[in-house]
Structure 1
Amino acid sequence: MEEKYELAKWLAGEMTEKELQAFQETPEYQTYAKIAVYSSQLKAPDFDADLLYQNTIRHKKAAPKVIPFYKSKWMRIAAIFVVFLGLSLFFRTTITSTEIAKNGQKTTFSLPDNSEIVLNSGSQIQYKKWNWDNNRKLDLDGEAYFKVAHGKKFQVNTTLGTVTVLGTQFNVKARKNRFDVTCYEGKVKVSYNSKDIIITKGTAVTFENDYFDRKNITVQKPEWTANEIVFKKENLQSIVDELERQYSCEIVLNSRENAQLFTGTLPTNDIKTALDVVCSIFHLKISKFDNTKIILVDI
């Protein structure tokens, strides 16, 4: 036991000179010395902590690769497509188509169901093309002639009243406080001030404030589509307003208030003749006449 203790102290270098001299004189010293010499020549491999870490990671079972939704190329494309589709549907269902006939013009166009509409001068129609078969409604400002294709219910809305039809031909005029509806084929329902009136082929109705008139007609379509305007008990200012729309000009009335009403026909392609008739009926004369401005005064 003492021998192992002495050997441990010698290997640790803890012997005093006296103890070292005594240990070197023992028979086992030469054997121990040789072992120490050979042991000192053995070298342990360098320890590379970084290499050990990399090898550990390399042999570790690879975790499944998870790509976030927003980083996936195809997912981004799909998301863009969905947004584009949504925007397209939104615009298709909300955007309104507008047809306009400026002053001095008439416009003819067809609806998605091939119904034909002719807009008179100074008029406008708005409607939605999308899903037209299930939403056959439009908004009219002014005057228009309708040749409706046979099908489901068809509705014309104005600020003064509503006209509902089913496969027919009719004319609607909404100017200021006056609302005129004429039926040329089939039948229509006219709604005005919460009242409904059914009119059939050859019938015309007029509403103006508390005034109501119903009469029979013999013509097959509105006269204005053939360059004529028919007035029925209309005052001078209403006639002048219509002439301004038809001829796209300004007409100034420098005259006394005139309560006379006019029933008759005026041309829409000959302004001089139209003015001559108006002046004759209302006792006026032309004091200025050019392409943009006309002044009428009392005789």
Structure 2
Amino acid sequence: MKENMENMNPESLLRKAQALGEDIKEMESIDVMGAYQQAQTQIKTNRRRSMYNQLMRYAAFLTIPLLLSSLILGYLYWGATDTEEKYAEVMAATGSVIRYELPDHSVVWLNSGSTLRYPTVFKKDNRNVELKGEAYFEVEADRKRPFYVNTPAGLSVYVYGTKFNVNAYEDDNSIETVLEKGKVNVISPDGKTTVQLAPGERLLYNKVDQKLLKGKVDVYEKVAWKDGKLIFRNAELGEIFKRLARHFNVDIQFNNISGKEYKYRATFRNETLPQILDYLAKSAALKWRTEEAVQQADDTFTKKKIIVDLY
């Protein structure tokens, strides 16, 4: 090396010395500590990024089952809410008449000893109620949700919006539907026959022979009970006593000893039962007596009993 330098001319040596000086300056200009810190920062950034990606994979792994669980619980909750129906029941005590408004704002009057069962929230496609006894309906119009009145004998009445009366006492041999306004459709218990009524018509279903009889009727005679009136038009004594028994909450035993048939045309408003019986006795040989209520072994009382004899 020494020999090579000795053999070189002064100009070559100068150029070598300048190049070496420049290399030394460049090396001195490098910030070793800064480069070290920058390298450490990059390492930490890469490490945090790796940990974040790993955590996100774990989070996704945990979130999917949680999401599925939430969806299942939500479906079970809301699905059960939609399908589970809650029912309410309203009853008119014997000897009383009540007026009641249903959830769809339809109005119903219940006659003495009648019961109406209905869902607290009607379905989106229908409005179903169950009737035992007698009721007068003013149904709020809704073409998308027909209104059904179902009776214990299986007879059903469906409408969209109208005024009508259904008499379906379980101890009667018939079910009577009377239309005041609009249209109603009456479906037989076997579902094979549907009869449509016009205002002023009634349909009588005989529970014994299962026959349907359609005809004209005095509508107000059939629905005046909701206004506290008893109206009879060519009514036989047997029918009159049946209605009086329900209206006054008594038992009436009618003995037709003579075998004669009498028909009456009358309207009663605030008369008492004795006053009505006295009125009926003016045109027929009627005698009647009262048996008071008796306390039974279970501390309940029997109904007052009226025994009517026709001679």
Cα 1:216–1:293 shift into 2, 3 Å: closer
Larger of the two Rg values belongs to structure: 1
Aligned to 1:159: 152
1:294 aligns with 2:292: no
Q: Which amino acid aligns with 2:277?
A: L
Displacement after TM superposition at 1:228 (Å)? 2.3
Cα 1:141–1:277 shift into 2, 3 Å: farther
Aligned residues: 220
Q: Which moved more, 1:145-154 or 1:248-257?
A: 248-257
Give the 5 Å matches for 1:141-220.
141-151=132-142, 152-160=145-153, 161-175=155-169, 176-193=172-189, 194-208=192-206, 209=209, 210=211, 212-217=213-218, 219=220
Give the 5 Å matches for 1:20-169.
93-151=84-142, 152-160=145-153, 161-169=155-163
Q: Which amino acid aligns with 1:207?
A: Y
Q: TM-score, normalised by structure 1?
A: 0.61
Displacement after TM superposition at 1:107 (Å)? 1.2
Cα 1:196–1:108 shift into 2, 3 Å: same
Give the 5 Å matches for 1:9-24.
none
Aligned to 1:45: none
Cα 1:132–1:294 shift into 2, 3 Å: same
Displacement after TM superposition at 1:207 (Å)? 3.0
Cα 1:179–1:220 shift into 2, 3 Å: closer
Q: For residues 85-105 of structure 1, give each alpha carbon's deviation from its aligned partner in whole angstroms, at most 9, with x where no partner exists.
A: 969x57993432111111110
Displacement after TM superposition at 1:148 (Å)? 0.6
Say what the alpha-carbon RMSD is for the aligned residues. 3.6
Displacement after TM superposition at 1:273 (Å)? 3.2
Aligned to 1:248: 249
Contact 2:131-2:150 within 8 A present in 1 as well? yes
Aligned to 2:53: none
**What percentage of aligned pairs have identical amino acids?**
27
Q: TM-score, normalised by structure 2?
A: 0.59
Cα distance in 2 for partners of 1:101, 1:167 equals: 24
Contact 1:150-1:166 within 8 A present in 2 as well? yes
Cα 1:120–1:156 shift into 2, 3 Å: same
Cα 1:135–1:281 shift into 2, 3 Å: farther
Aligned to 2:5: none
Secondary structure at 1:134's aligned position in 2?
coil
Displacement after TM superposition at 1:132 (Å)? 4.0
Cα 1:212–1:283 shift into 2, 3 Å: farther
